[in-house]
Amino acid sequence: MSLSVQVTQASPQSAVVKVEGEVDIFTVDHLLAAIEKCNAKTIVLNCEGLVFIDSTGIGLLLRKMVELKEQGINVTFDSVPEPIDAILDEMGIYEILDELNGR
C-alpha cells in the first residue's frame, strides 16, 4: 500500500494537495500531515490519482476537514475518480461538506 502526496501553493490563499495511490489506515497520517502543512485558506485535494480509500481514511480525512473549517480553512475535493466519487457520495460525505460550507 503506497501513497504519494505533493503539495503546491497555487496562490497566497490556496494550495493543491495532489493525492496518488491508496488512503487507508496505514497511509492516512501521511496525507493529514501534508494537509496540515498547507498555509492557505483554501485547500484543494486533487484526487485524480487516488485508487483506493477505506472507511478509516474517509473518517479521519473528514474529521480533519471539520477541524480546519473551524479555523476558517476550506478543504474541497477535485478530480475524484468515478468509483471513489460514488463511495463518497453514497456515504454522504458531499452532503456533510455542503452543510459544513453553508451550501
In tens, the pLDDT along 67-94 reads 999 999 999 999 999 999 999 999 999 9
- Tell me whether residue 20 is exposed, middle or buried, using C-beta atoms within 10 angstroms of its C-beta: 0 to 12, 13 to 18, 19 or more: middle
The residue whose grid cell reads 473528514 is 62
pTM: 0.92
pLDDT tens-digit series, residues 42-56: 999 999 999 999 999
Domain count, the chain: 1
Q: How confident is the model at residue 97 (pLDDT cuts 50, 70, 90)?
A: confident
Q: In terms of Cα–Cα distance, which of 22, 13, 24 is closest to 74?
A: 13
Q: What is the CATH number of the domain that holds 19?
A: 3.30.750.24
Q: For residue 79, what are the domain limits?
A: 3-100
